[in-house]
Structure 1
Amino acid sequence: MKMPKLSALAVALILTGCASAPDYKQPSNALTETFLNQSVEGVHSGHNLEGQLTNAHWWSQFDDPMLNQLIEDAQNQSIPLKVASERIKSAQAFNRIVESFKVPTVNLGAGYTSYGISDNDPLLGAAVSSNNPLGTALIDSDQSAFHAGMTIAWELDLFGRIDNQAKAASIRAEQAEIMRQGLTTLITSDVIHNYLQYRGAQERKAIALDLVNDQQQTLELVEKVHRSGYGSQLDVARAKAMLAATKAVIPQLETAENAHQQRLAILLGESPSAMQSRLNAISPLPAFNGVIPTGLPSDLLQRRPDLQIAEREMAAQNAELAAAVANQYPKFYLTGSPGVLANDFDDLFNSNSSTWLASIGVSWNIFDGGRTDAMIKLQESRFEASALSYQHAVNSAIGEVETLLNGYGNSQQYQALISEAKSETDTAVGKAISLYRAGLIDYLTVLDAQRQQHAMRDREVAARLQTANMVVGLNKALGGDWEM
């Protein structure tokens, strides 16, 4: 019995069913409906009537024009952001390169050819030599021709190898854009953080200078009392120690002030002197006067760039796996070379000068020592790793938001208690001055109350700075569009 014969196209159609690429579906995550720490003061679910979050340009709620300008300039001038933009262009260009393999490649060519045939040529030597039975050359040994034409080549992507490679390249281009968005968020949050730290260091230094002035007066008074014979050397030593300890804080605050100023210059791509000119005027530490919309845990999947990149990585690995599966099946090629060929240029474009060549071919790697199968296993492993990485990124994102929500709530409580303590020290200073004027206490008691007041002022600034940094961190963890 004769076996039925299958044409190449029939074989290709049969194999197409075997080479079907694994379908990609976005991963589903079992997330809670709300955050555990959602009840923190100053936050809410944040959805408007259209179901969208409303925290665009949230930093404007610090109500600091200088901060707004720094952010705008950073997003326009930052060198890393410019590099990220170039990487987007590179990824898009690579995508176009891969996409180009889907369509035929057409090359145009023209030229003039001249060649000579040797009398000793094993094939044509007898035809050009007169030493043959006919006694005369049959063709000229010198030949030349003009030619023009094109070459067309096309791979029939029956199994989706090229198509899936193009999908992977397209996803990589998407990732490059998402990475720039993530870098914008990172740089913007870094600008806000360093600006807050800079203003906080300025304010704390001013408080320290006031305290130095008060402690200098205390030392002078203690020394005066000691010289009059009513004080002790211990009081003088204590006053000097307190003054020296306060003075020691000032260089540290100046170092912090300079470090954050230099960091801002780097983030904005400016010179240190230009940034110093920007920040020359002393300004108080800005306070956040808004409410933070958190949304739902599921919103993080679409808002955080790191989660978007992780999800797109799964899609890219899936496409590369599909390309590896398709690579084990035959590749079909169509080629054609229409053109014209003539001995004389004047005859080149006559109808009799046309020439052509067409072919169809197939290439099938049936044995490679297991390399193709290993490549499939490699891509499968990479896909599984990307899926696990995505799940880990989701868990980390939820944990980060929960931690910052809790920290934001605690920092607000801490700030409120410190503000209450500062208010009490202000009251204590007022009472001490009143008692001193009534002659009921000495001036050292007044100066000690003022010292405690300055110390509490410093702690109050540190508490406000901690709360502001929590605001920055929480908004960063929630993701969203940070573009100006």
Structure 2
Amino acid sequence: MKTIRPASALVVSALLAGCTVGPNYSGPPVAAPKAAKAPAFVRAGDAPVAATPPVARWWESLNDTTLTALENRALSANPDLAAAEAKLRQARASLREQKANLLPKGSASALYAHARFPGLDLGSSDSGSGQGGSGSVSDIDLYNLGFDASWEVDIFGGQRRAIEAARATAEGAEASLADAQVSLTAEVAQAYINVRDRQRRIALNQQSIAMQEQMLALTRQRFERGTASRLDVERLSQQLDSTRADVTPLHAELDAYLDELATLTGDEPGALDATMATPAPLPLPPAEVAIGDPAGLLQRRPDIRAAERMLAADTAKIGQAKAAEFPSLSFMGIIGIGGTSPADLTKLDDFTALLAPQLSWSFLDFGRNAAKVKQAEGVRDEAEAKYRSAVLAALRDAEDSLSQFRNRRGTVATLARAKASADETLALSRQRYAAGTSTLIDLLDAERQQVEAEQNLSIAEAGLSGDFVTIQKALGLGWGATEAPR
């Protein structure tokens, strides 16, 4: 009978290592075939959008240096973003660990031992004594240097599937980090828009309060002279109290948005109060918004990429579970030198060596591993359903945000015309007052209506800027590329 030498066994095992069980991942399913073929978002309507590729750092198109500085600060100091980056580092370290598991493991050891053995020195004795002798002690020193190695051959590809799953998981963590960046940049921009909007509305309300106070004072003078009724005084007084009441929640909202902006940029609440104390114009969206095409959206949105990478990882884990159903082959080797004196450690030609191949197979597990395979297949099916859901949700976000942006533009245009009409009315009222054909109260009322029209327009413009931010988030913009997994 011919025996197989260890070197031959290694060659055979290497050839067997080419077999990898389990399904091969062939890419994600087509979740939205119509959208993939569409040239652009068909329901963009008359909104100023273009199918040109969008800009990643979209907030720079708002031309607001303060907003740009806040975005950069948030991307470098936000704690939630730091947590996502830490998860990415964990996933990449796990990938390196799985790659290392494919290689042999080796360790070295050094041993010194001193043993003391009690002994019994049996000698002759008188026949009448029955026993005799004296005890003795033996001392032994032991010196040893050893090296051992083990290697489990990946015959059916279980470890290769584990590496495949770890790599997909790391890429999914990278996509999750990008998704966190998308959400963060959108939240910072929205909070900044809300701050500037509240500051502007507070200033307009203060103007309105000042005008109404002057109107109320003049009306009281007229009432004292008998040229105005008590009803006119009460009506203006009630209107003034209502306007004053509107300012209080605006101050509370301004404080809340300033605190939100501070925490988003990684600072304590109140840290930006002094920096943002001076009101500034509300940033408005550009005249034309680039949206790209639906197919590009599916490739660009990081939440979709994260769902796709999770599907790839769960597919690889099926093969990892199936590989456990088959036999495993491992090798263990030991080399050691030593003896009872330190000089024995230098005798390199006098060593102990052991090479032990081991074949194991858990063929009688009463369906345990088959259940694990079914479980892995169920997890994969769940990941596929989540991927389809992510795709449909992304397309819906894009369509809804574009529709909202289009309709908001119509509202802004209408209120802009109303504001222009109020400006014209105020100009005519000033001419009539200067000519002496109208009263000061008439002029103040025209100014109040003009301020009210400006307030309504300010609210609509803030909503339009917020809709622009929503479009950028729906398009999956605001993230930067990171280092690829190693």
The answer for the alignment partner of 1:295 in structure 2 is: 292
**1:255 shift after superposition:** 0.8
Map 1:136-215 → 2, pairs under 5 A: 142-215=139-212
The answer for the alignment partner of 1:31 in structure 2 is: 34
Call closer, same or farther: CA 1:273–1:483 in 2, change over 3 Å: same
Map 1:82-481 → 2, pairs under 5 A: 82-115=82-115, 142-481=139-478
Q: Pick one of 32, 43, 48 that aligns with 2:49.
A: 43
- Tell whether the 8 Å contact from 1:337 to 1:358 is kept in structure 2 after alignment: yes
Q: Give the unaligned 5+ runs of structure 1.
A: 1-6, 47-52, 120-127, 132-139
**1:349 shift after superposition:** 2.0
Is 1:66 the counterpart of 2:66? The answer is: yes
Distance in 1 of aligned mates of 2:49 and 2:301: 18
Q: Give the unaligned 5+ runs of structure 2.
A: 1-7, 124-136, 482-486
The answer for the alignment partner of 1:122 in structure 2 is: none
- Tell whether the 8 Å contact from 2:165 to 2:314 is kept in structure 1 after alignment: yes
- Tell whether the 8 Å contact from 1:38 to 1:44 is kept in structure 2 after alignment: no
- TM-score, with structure 1 as normaliser: 0.89
Partner SS, residue 276 of structure 1: coil
- Tell whether the 8 Å contact from 1:31 to 1:297 is kept in structure 2 after alignment: no
Partner SS, residue 367 of structure 1: coil
Partner SS, residue 236 of structure 2: helix
Distance in 2 of aligned mates of 1:110 and 1:318: 45
- Tell whether the 8 Å contact from 1:106 to 1:152 is kept in structure 2 after alignment: yes
Partner SS, residue 275 of structure 1: coil
Call closer, same or farther: CA 1:194–1:102 in 2, change over 3 Å: same
Partner SS, residue 274 of structure 2: helix
Aligned residues: 458
Deviating more after overlay: 217-226 vs 105-114 = 105-114
Distance in 2 of aligned mates of 1:96 and 1:395: 34
- Tell whether the 8 Å contact from 1:422 to 1:456 is kept in structure 2 after alignment: yes
- Tell whether the 8 Å contact from 2:314 to 2:379 is kept in structure 1 after alignment: yes
- Tell whether the 8 Å contact from 1:171 to 1:315 is kept in structure 2 after alignment: yes
Partner SS, residue 34 of structure 2: coil
Distance in 2 of aligned mates of 1:372 and 1:205: 67
Distance in 2 of aligned mates of 1:190 and 1:483: 17
Aligned AA for 2:51? S
Aligned AA for 2:417? E
**1:70 shift after superposition:** 0.7
**1:470 shift after superposition:** 0.5
**1:36 shift after superposition:** 2.5
Aligned AA for 1:37? R
Distance in 1 of aligned mates of 2:445 and 2:330: 92
Distance in 2 of aligned mates of 1:40 and 1:98: 53
Distance in 2 of aligned mates of 1:15 and 1:482: 44
Partner SS, residue 201 of structure 1: helix
- Tell whether the 8 Å contact from 2:57 to 2:477 is kept in structure 1 after alignment: no
**1:8 shift after superposition:** 9.7
Distance in 1 of aligned mates of 2:88 and 2:346: 47
- Tell whether the 8 Å contact from 2:18 to 2:157 is kept in structure 1 after alignment: no
Identity level (%) = 29
**Deviations 1:417-463 (CA, angstroms, capped at 9, x unpaired):** 10000000111111122223333333332222222111111010001
- Tell whether the 8 Å contact from 1:215 to 1:243 is kept in structure 2 after alignment: yes
Call closer, same or farther: CA 1:64–1:252 in 2, change over 3 Å: same
Distance in 2 of aligned mates of 1:418 and 1:161: 65
**1:174 shift after superposition:** 1.4
**Deviations 1:313-359 (CA, angstroms, capped at 9, x unpaired):** 10000011110011111111011011212221112121343111110
Partner SS, residue 42 of structure 2: coil
Distance in 2 of aligned mates of 1:88 and 1:326: 28
Distance in 1 of aligned mates of 2:266 and 2:14: 58
Aligned AA for 2:25? Y
**1:271 shift after superposition:** 2.9
- Tell whether the 8 Å contact from 2:419 to 2:457 is kept in structure 1 after alignment: yes
- Tell whether the 8 Å contact from 1:19 to 1:325 is kept in structure 2 after alignment: no
Call closer, same or farther: CA 1:142–1:290 in 2, change over 3 Å: farther
Where in structure 1 do 4 or more consecutive aligned residues deviate above 4 Å?
7-19, 116-119, 128-131
Distance in 2 of aligned mates of 1:318 and 1:311: 11
Distance in 1 of aligned mates of 2:235 and 2:457: 25
Partner SS, residue 444 of structure 1: helix
